[in-house]
A and B are shown apart, each in its own frame.
Chain A
Amino acid sequence: MKKAAWFLGLILIFSILLSACTGGAGQAKTIKVGVIAELTGDIPAVGASCKNAAEMAVQQINDAGGLDVGGTKYMVELYIEDNAGKADQSASSAQKLITQQNVVAIIGPNASRYAIPASEIAESSKVVLISPWSTNPKTTLNANTNESKKYVFRAAFIDPFQGRVVAKFALDNLNAKKAAVLYDVASEYNKGIAEFFKSTYEENGGTVVAFETYTTGDKDFSAQLTKIKEAGPEVIFLPNYYSEVPLQIQQAHRLGIDVPFLGSDSWGSTELITLCGSDCEGYYFSTHYAADAATPEATKFIEAYKAKYGNTPDDVAALTFDSFGLLWQALQTAGKVDREAVRDALAKISKYEGVTGNMSFTEGSGDPIKSAVILQIKGDKFVWFANANP
């Protein structure tokens, strides 16, 4: 017993010494960046893309000898946390990265329902958080005061814009005057975008004939879809995640619904096509970038990603890469590795040429000004269909 206690004590002392050494030696020349990703849970493909792109972004900097900030070369150290697809774990991951790892900024989480709780922690701890993929306005807005959060940014456009883009697309391109919506009422993202779609669609002369909901984890949508069929829409909007959309479309087909379906950026994972098979053929969704109609920046990124991981990067990967790009640019403008200085520099970025297009920020808002694209599902690929500007 006594021996064991001695042994444990020794281990403890050694580990403290060891951590003190590595901490002390590395501190001067490294930038610590945290990532919170959905590696497990209900949307693991999102977390995997985020992790891949984050590792690639950091590796590119480190392979080039580090990031030049104010005349000194810094190596980048990456800390990746899994939020397990849970809101509470997203908040505790943010807490851990800030207090234990002492990171200068956090990238992620991606889905709005996780990004919102994590952003609250970052805001109150005064640490920059950039969510690559979250599109719900509440991520960067303080819910109580309705003012913009000071330390929270994103690389994606926001849902009101996306809802508007899809609604206009349904009216103008598909010529559909009657639409139905089926969405997850328990998820911030789905709920927000469904409501923005409805308001724009009705303002522009369309009618939403059915506005149906379900809750996360449901697999049987037969009651809602039967109701939608009865209402006779010309188009159905499903602003839901890639793991649920295939079930909804397949069940709709089984009930004999044959109108086109529309989606939002949550469709943009190639997993969608794997799960859906031929059922999703020809349908449209709005998203952040098109891999087949790429700018030089995007092509460079897509080639590098393909070479490293063997598949085409989806929108999460592209946005994660852009989040890191924004962070590097902010660090270089700030000229020092300091949380406050990075925030100020980030808020003033007037032009950033990213993989997902040009972005700019204005002081007083964490949302970038950027454009969207509409993609169509053709075979096993997402094909560029139209552009939509703010």
Chain B
Amino acid sequence: MTYLLQQVLNALQLGSIYALIALGYTMVYGILTMINFAHGDLFMVGAFFCFLAATFLHLPFVPTLLIAMIGVALLGVLIERFAYKPLRQAPRVSAIITALGVGIFLENFTLVFAPYPQHVPTLIKNTTWVVGGVSISSLQLIIIALSLVLMAFLDFIVRKTMVGMAMRAISWDKAIVPLMGIPLNLVISATFALGTSLGGAAGVMYALAFPVIDPYMGILIGWKAFIAAVVGGIGNIRGAMIGGFILGGVEILVAAFLPSTYRDFVAFTLLLVLLIFRPYGILGKPRPQKV
């Protein structure tokens, strides 16, 4: 029993990081119907912002988190403005290839400055409590709690504010909504800023939990988060959160009860089966193709 509880805690920690990154994919898809494959690398840049702020400016946790979130948000907006906007009318494939290119650019740009894996200093003093045989670290609790707070905040913005309403409207119809006086570019920029800042926050938490970072760290986790977004129903914000936790849970529990060599194989087979029965994801709705 304690073993299971321990693994559930592990799954919550991993799942909350997947969920935060998956949100970035899903928001961009929701508004532009394009997959921002550079998102995993923006997550990596977030981890590096955390490293820079903590190592060279010696800042504590909260300012570091804010710097990383704002920095990555600005970078996301810039990328949208200069790399994706000129292609908004181009075929979808061109935008996706551009996104891959942006990702490779970010990796290699970081590589120039940090060819070695870097060590992120401890920002939160870690204490481990043992409750009934289950080891709970303060870091684990902070990551889970902070992710939940950020997700609730995002959910609030999208559902209850004017900006959120504009985002939902634009994802509904990009041609008519601007005619109602809604600034299209501004809303798209805001979407990118929100989505990527969550990726940046995930980067910071990841760097704190796993304090060795390198320029390629975003690739694998970016793919996994993308899968989480698809499983939850891409374009749906609550779906991305659920998808992130499902993927984290499946990965950890497969490794916990089967030989760990089968982990990715079994985990992704399960997800594929899920997609056979729900091809639009758990909360996704079929979108009729407009002609």
A interface residues, Cβ below 8 angstroms from B: 39-42, 44-45, 185, 212-215, 217-220, 222-224, 226-227, 230, 243-244, 246-247, 250-251, 254-256, 271, 274-275, 277
Contact = CB atoms under 8 A, between A and B. Distances in A.
B93 interface: no
B115 A275 contact: no
A40 B260 CA distance: 29
B126 A223 contact: no
Contacts of B269: none
B256 A219 contact: no
User: Size class of B's contact patch?
Assistant: 35 or more
B252 A222 contact: yes
Given A40-B111, A213-B261, 11 more contacts: A42-B214, A185-B261, A213-B259, A214-B260, A218-B220, A220-B13, A227-B255, A227-B256, A243-B214, A246-B119, A275-B119
A42 B117 contact: yes
Interface stretch (B22-30, B205-213, B226-234): B205-213
A246 B264 CA distance: 23
A222 B3 CA distance: 12
A333 to B, nearest CB: 38
10 contacts: A40-B111, A44-B116, A45-B116, A222-B13, A223-B10, A227-B255, A227-B260, A247-B211, A275-B119, A275-B212
Contact of A246 (B212, B216, B219): B212
A206 B217 CA distance: 37
A219 B206 contact: yes
Nearest to B261: A213
B128 interface: yes
Given A40-B111, A256-B128, A226 B211 contact: no
A214 B214 CA distance: 18
A41 B108 CA distance: 10
B219 A243 contact: no
B126 A275 contact: no
B264 A215 contact: yes
A380 B103 CA distance: 36
Interface string B1-37: 0010011001101100000000000000000000000
Given A213-B261, A222-B10, A254-B137, A274 B119 contact: yes
A220 B211 CA distance: 11
Given A220-B14, A224-B260, A227-B256, A254 B117 contact: no
B210 A40 contact: no
Closest 9 CB pairs of A and B: A223-B255, A222-B10, A219-B210, A217-B220, A223-B252, A243-B117, A256-B135, A213-B261, A275-B119
Contacts of B116: 44-45, 271
Nearest to B135: A256
B41 interface: no
Contacts of A255: 6, 135
A223 B220 contact: no
Contact of B260 (A45, A212, A246, A275): A212
Given A250-B211, A255-B135, A223 B256 contact: yes
Given A42-B214, A219-B210, A226 B6 contact: yes
A220 B210 contact: yes
B32 to A, nearest CB: 28
B172 to A, nearest CB: 37
A223 B260 contact: yes
B28 to A, nearest CB: 24
B139 interface: yes
Contacts of B264: 215
Interface in B189-227: 206, 209-212, 214, 216-217, 219-221
B216 A247 contact: no
A223 B263 CA distance: 10
Nearest to A39: B115
A213 B116 CA distance: 24
Contact of B117 (A215, A227, A275): A275
B130 interface: yes
Given A227-B256, A243-B214, A271-B116, A222 B139 contact: no
A217 B253 CA distance: 19
Contacts of A230: 3
Contacts of B255: 212, 223-224, 227
Most buried by B among A45, A215, A218, A226: A226
B80 interface: no
A377 B251 CA distance: 34
Interface string B72-94: 00000000000000000000000
A223 B139 contact: no
A217 B261 contact: no
Contacts of B252: 222-223
